[in-house]
Amino acid sequence: MVPVDQDKVVRAVEKASRYVVSVNTVTLVSDFLFRSMPVGGLGSGIIYGADGYIVTNNHVVSNARRISITLPDNRITEGSVVGGDALSDVALIKIPRTGLTPAEFYDSDSLKVGQFVLALGNPFGLAGGPTVTAGVISALKRRIQAQGGPVIEDLIQTDAAINPGNSGGPLINLDGKVVAMSTAIIPYAQGIGFAITSNTVQRVAEEMIKYGRVIRPWLGINGIDMSSGIAEYYNLAVDFGVLVVSVVEASPAYHAGLREGDIIIQVDKERILGLSDLLAQLWRRKAGDEVSLRIIRGEKEFLSTTRLVESPMT
């Protein structure tokens, strides 16, 4: 166990306990005779606004027919989904309450591997306040394939125990600030959990409050990670970057002059090592932003600029 100031841990937990909620859902499923049956689900959530906004995982509330929220003072109230985003696994709920204590969020771009963190949530629907587990940030910028869903990018990996029911709960630092939101565990693995960065949670929540959906910037390519094997097999100039497999006609990438077989190695001044880097750079921008792309085509290297548009798949 990493030696830490126990009083700081206690104060951080006390602070965070004021904004951690339980999320209980009812979903209708059909049996083999096509009869509908209600099935209960549970998760955790984070109070995002004093006016009744709560963030949780999209997979916790997607397809839910009924949502009830248990607040830190044990009051129970009904909630409704403002919007959900499968690509980030973030959903926003609204409850008819005001005067709530919202969470304070930390800038997740400042996180370092090895930082001490605490995971709070309501595993297994246990009553009596959130459960706390401790650990460190094991890795940054992880990507996982959600079961039956999309690949989720730019995740934090932690060894703090994340149990069933913790999904949607906060990962906090010793100041009681949210650094991430727990999202998944790998079954049968020891000490491997994942969380969505606080910056992603805030961006998704703000866009849902303002627009009712996430406006995701779009370049318009299909690509794969470059590797030394691909570079050697096709006799390409570099072994890093994103190899363009196809370009959508009339997309920003098409107008930038990108074509099949090109390699993207830089966005503005940021080096691109692979597809996760490219997606992370695009996510930091907005539809309408102009970006500069450094491209390798054969033995030539050139710069091209284009303006991102809203993804047609949002």
What are the residue numbers of the active site? 59, 89, 167
What count of residues does the chain have? 314
**Which phi and psi (to 5°) does residue 11 adopt?**
-65, -40
Residue 260, both tokens: 């099949």
3-state SS, residue 123: helix
177: Cβ contacts below 8 Å, ≥ 6 apart? 103, 104, 105, 106, 198
Dihedral sign for Cα 147, 94, 125, 114, please: positive
> 283: buried, middle or exposed (CB in 10 Å: 19+, 13-18, 0-12)?
middle
Residue whose tokens read 């692979």: 274
Say if residues 276 and 184 touch (Cβ distance below 8 Å). no
Give the three-class secondary structure for 160: coil
Tell me the CA end-to-end span of the chain in Å, nearest whole number. 43
37: tokens are: 């049956």
DSSP 283-302: HTS-TT-EEEEEEEETTEEE
Adjacent-strand bridge partners of 79: 67
Residues 6+ apart with CB under 8 A from 86: 58, 62, 146, 149, 150
How many Cβ atoms from other residues are within 10 Å of residue 232's Cβ?
Answer: 10
Both tokens of 308, joined, read: 């991102």
